[in-house]
Amino acid sequence: MTINLGLTPLVSLLAGILILLVPRLLNYIVAFYLIIIGVIGLMGGGNYHF
């Protein structure tokens, strides 16, 4: 049995949890999320699976 986990869903999950826990940080979390997803996309991170 293999489990393929993409990096993008993990970042999304972490961002969602942080928004629920600390709503005041919404702007920062969204900004960091977009930056991380952009860097992952530019570096071909869609091909990484854990």
Q: Tell me how far apart the alpha carbons of residues 40 and 7 are, in angstroms, rounded to a whole number.
A: 8
Residue 29 has a pLDDT of 85
Residue 44 gets the label, from left (phi > 0), alpha (psi -120 to 50) or beta, of left
Q: What is the pLDDT of residues 11-34, one digit of tens each?
A: 888 888 988 898 888 888 888 888
Mean of the per-residue pLDDT values for the chain? 78
Q: Quick one: pLDDT band at residue 47, thresholds 50, 70, 90?
A: low
Q: Take residue 11 and report the two structure tokens written for it.
A: 């970042």
Nearest to 43 by CA among 9, 7, 15: 7
More confident residue, 28 or 1: 28
